[in-house]
Amino acid sequence: MLSWLSGSVPMLVGECLLPEADALLERAPCGLVVTTEDGTILRSNQTFSRWLGSDPTALLGRRFQSLLTMGGRIFHQTHWAPLMKIQGSVAEVKLDLQHADGRVITMLLNGVRHEHAGGVFYELAMFGTVERDRYERELLSARKRAEQLLAERSTAERALQEAKAELALAYRDAQRRATLAEQMVAVASHDLKNPLTAIKMATGLLARGDWAPRQQQLIGTIGLSCDRAQRMIADLLDLASARMGEGISIQRQVVDLPGLVDESVNELRVAFPHACIRHLSKGHGQVHVDPDRLHQTLGNLVANAAAYGDLQHGITLTSDVCQGTVSLCVHNHGPTIEPALIERLFEPMTRASERCAGGRSVGLGLFIVREIVTAHGGEIRVHSSQAQGTTFMVRLPAVPPTLHEQRAVP
């Protein structure tokens, strides 16, 4: 650095002639300053002068401290000047210097203290921090943004956990209320059976008397109403049993399928006198099913057909026993069932249309049918079109798997 003060000559390196050292130092990519121990500037390069907006000659003789802001002067006096005396150097000290136009320029200072015969000199090198400061600001901004996002995520996760906990409590409460309601329905339905049975028996006894036609009609109406109420109560009990996980119970017996269907049709003709109900038997044979539940299935399907179908075309029941499978079909003409409705047709309280279902107004008939078919290990399907009408198709195993296995053993 002292050679820079006294000048230099070009240097030959190999076949290349380097610029004079003085020129290299003047145009160095950093600010270079040489001061005395008290801070008097002896020399500064063009780079440093240009950064401060001053002429190099105007800086000569000035105290380096005078170029600093007030904060920089305090820092110079209390920190880096003492460090230079004690340890002989400082590195990466950040200082604010004043530009000729009054604005502040931040620089990084590296300095060394050298003692020579001519005295003590401070050789300083300064680097601009514009890009570094921008990078640090962007880094700090990114860090703050990351911390903000992390805080938002933590808040969202806590809110989600709280919402899940609230939903779980609400779900358990809803389940408890639903179970209680189903139990109440089951208890009420069960308790209604006894008074209805008494009314039914009393109506039967009254019907044996010698009454005028008007009274006979009223007694008959009471009997029909009792039958309808008993069917509703039976459906409600089956619904409660299915919803509480017990399912619909069945008691299998060996029965003759055509005879069982004929018996159901005869009863249904009495229950629905305005409907033309016929039975087509394609296959004969004995099957192992619950006859009461099968009567209930056919009754619910025929009641549904009578309520929503066109009674002018009648209702057709088809039974068949083929290859170990019981097939039962109930067909009627009339309005079609929309495909979207078919998917939920067997759910409780679902009806094919807004038309009143008469004796099946509770809306449980098809649900009970599905549960009975499922209890038998079978399946039920629906096909409805304007041209072919509506058909409910039930398929049940004629013999349970356990009986098949028993019969297969010699």
- For residue 154, give the CATH number of its domain: 1.10.287.130
Give domain status of residue 52, yes or no: yes
Q: Are residues 391 and 347 in the same domain?
A: yes
Q: Are residues 151 and 286 in the same domain?
A: no
Percentage of residues in the chain having pLDDT higher than 70: 80
Give domain status of residue 182, yes or no: yes
Q: Are residues 150 and 51 in the same domain?
A: no
Give domain status of residue 134, yes or no: no
Percentage of residues in the chain having pLDDT higher than 90: 22
Q: Which of 109, 128, 147 is the last residue of a domain?
A: 128
Q: Are residues 239 and 257 in the same domain?
A: no
The predicted model gives 306-321 an average pLDDT of 90
Q: Which domain holds residue 362?
A: 253-408
Give domain status of residue 133, yes or no: no
Q: Which of 222, 243, 264 is the last residue of a domain?
A: 243
Whole-number Å distance between alpha carbons of 31 and 188: 98
Q: Are residues 221 and 156 in the same domain?
A: yes
Question: Residue 12 sits in a domain of what CATH number?
Answer: 3.30.450.20
Q: Which of 208, 243, 278 is the last residue of a domain?
A: 243
**Per-residue confidence (pLDDT) for residue 367, from 0 to 100:** 83
Question: 356 falls in which pLDDT band (50, 70, 90)?
Answer: very low
Q: Are residues 53 and 179 in the same domain?
A: no
Q: Are residues 397 and 338 in the same domain?
A: yes
**Per-residue confidence (pLDDT) for residue 405, from 0 to 100:** 40
- pLDDT tens digit string along 363-382? 778 888 888 898 889 999 99
SS3 per residue for the chain: CHHHHHCCCCEEECCEEECCHHHHHHCCCCEEEEEECCCEEEEECHHHHHHHCCCHHHHCCCEHHHHECHHHHHHHHHHHHHHHHHHCEEEEEEEEEECCCCCEEEEEEEEEEEEECCEEEEEEEEEECHHHHHHHHHHHHHHHHHHHHHHHHHHHHHHHHHHHHHHHHHHHHHHHHHHHHHHHHHHHHHHHHHHHHHHHHHHHHHHCCCCCHHHHHHHHHHHHHHHHHHHHHHHHHHHHHHHCCCCCCCCCEEEEHHHHHHHHHHHHHHHCCCCCEEEEECCCCEEEECHHHHHHHHHHHHHHHHHHCCCCCCEEEEEEEECCEEEEEEEECCCCCCHHHHCCCCCCCCCCCCCCCHHHCCCCHHHHHHHHHHHCCCEEEEEEECCCEEEEEEEEECCCHHHHHHHHCC
Q: Which residues pair with 393 in a beta bridge?
A: 329, 381
Q: Are residues 160 and 107 in the same domain?
A: no
Give domain status of residue 17, yes or no: yes
Question: 403 falls in which pLDDT band (50, 70, 90)?
Answer: very low
The predicted model gives 286-290 an average pLDDT of 88
The predicted model gives 86-96 an average pLDDT of 89
- Total number of domains constituting the chain: 3
Question: Residue 350 sits in a domain of what CATH number?
Answer: 3.30.565.10
Mean pLDDT of the residues in the chain: 81
pLDDT of 55 > 70? The answer is: yes
Question: 360 falls in which pLDDT band (50, 70, 90)?
Answer: very low
Q: Are residues 270 and 331 in the same domain?
A: yes
Give domain status of residue 248, yes or no: no
The predicted model gives 226-251 an average pLDDT of 69
Q: Are residues 48 and 74 in the same domain?
A: yes
Q: Are residues 299 and 321 in the same domain?
A: yes
**Per-residue confidence (pLDDT) for residue 76, from 0 to 100:** 87
Minimum mean pLDDT range among 55-59, 129-133, 228-232, 247-251: 228-232
Q: Are residues 218 and 365 in the same domain?
A: no
- pLDDT tens digit string along 101-150? 988 888 899 999 998 888 899 999 998 887 777 887 888 888 899 999 89
